[in-house]
Amino acid sequence: MAGCRGGVALHRAGRVAIFGGTHGNEMSGVTLVNLWIRNAAEIQRSRVEIRPFLTNPRSVEKCTRYVDTDLNRAFTPENLSAPNCEDLPYEVRRAQEINQIFGPKGSQQAYDVIFDLHNTTSNMGGTLILESSEDDFNLQMVRYIKDAIAPVPFYVLLTEHPVLQYATTRSVAKHPIGLEVGPQPQGVIRGNILETMRSILKHALDFIELFNGGTEFPPCTVDVYTVSERVDYPRDEERNITAMVHPDLQDHDWEPLNPGDPIFLTFDGRTLYYEGDSTVFPTFINEAAYYEKQQAFVTTRRDTLKANGIKALNT
């Protein structure tokens, strides 16, 4: 990395991958990637190599989240370095294959950008998921997209957390970015959700094309929601769920949750209240796939990040 006026000069993003089907029942990404594998004209740009890729074909075939284990949690050092054999879970073997094709993870040879396309059953709208508060390239990309689609609601979730961050499929890339769009039921295509995903990705690719072509992006600020806590459902001694998300919280992703606000309604009719000491912003509320992960929602705090100005080296 070298200096430039008002910011930093970064290597061009010459290789970009678009992942769909990390979870095989999240149909917007599956549908778009399958479309672009057959005809990539829509995503082609002159200054960047773009590769659409179906990440978990077996789960796509079965229309399930995964076959053996969650691929979006499988990219740990232990999994990637394990001897490849038939005894390994399918998704671990698939993670090793993806790491060989698009990585190795953490190396200079890795792909520059990976967009990982996801759907959620939660009412999250269009959400970009970042893994680092110091990635100027991704922050500038988010700022560009937000300006391009304004006033359409658009959110940025920062998963930088010492405990809650996990080894995602996209983390193979130098600049990993998740795209989460909902609400959409599992195994279903909703036209408005698919088109939101398509529009956000179009502007992201436009940004990369401009950056690679020498456009300088000045310093900027980006509003993000930083993950702070994972909240489980109330449970009994046998770990059975005893309450559901309260109707006053359901579908209110990104809205303020204040101490004393209702969060759960027990099956016998009692209201349970948020006992935190400050206002937070919940998201992934009542996500269907997170019942198995013992998560009813996550709380976030609203932050503003400052991004350095960027330009491409050797333009």
Instruction: Name the residue among 126, 68, 48 with its Cα closest to residue 40.
Output: 48
User: What is the distance between the alpha carbons of residues 149 and 172, in angstroms, rounded to a whole number?
Assistant: 28
Q: Which residues contact 112 (CB under 8 A, 6 or more apart)?
A: 11, 12, 13, 14, 15, 16, 173, 174, 175
User: What is the distance between the alpha carbons of residues 67 and 118, in angstroms, rounded to a whole number?
Assistant: 17
For 235-251, give the DSSP string: B-TT--B-EEE-TTTTT
Lookup result for tokens 């559901």: 244
Number of Cβ within a 10 Å radius of residue 70? 19
Catalytic residue at 78?
A: no
User: What is the distance between the alpha carbons of residues 98 and 249, in angstroms, rounded to a whole number?
Assistant: 38
Number of Cβ within a 10 Å radius of residue 256? 11
Token code pair at residue 138 = 């991704």
User: What is the distance between the alpha carbons of residues 312 and 4, in angstroms, rounded to a whole number?
Assistant: 10
Token code pair at residue 47 = 């200054």
Instruction: Name the residue among 55, 15, 5 with its Cα closest to residue 33.
Output: 55
Q: Which among 160, 180, 209, 292 is annotated as catalytic?
A: 180
Residues with catalytic roles? 180
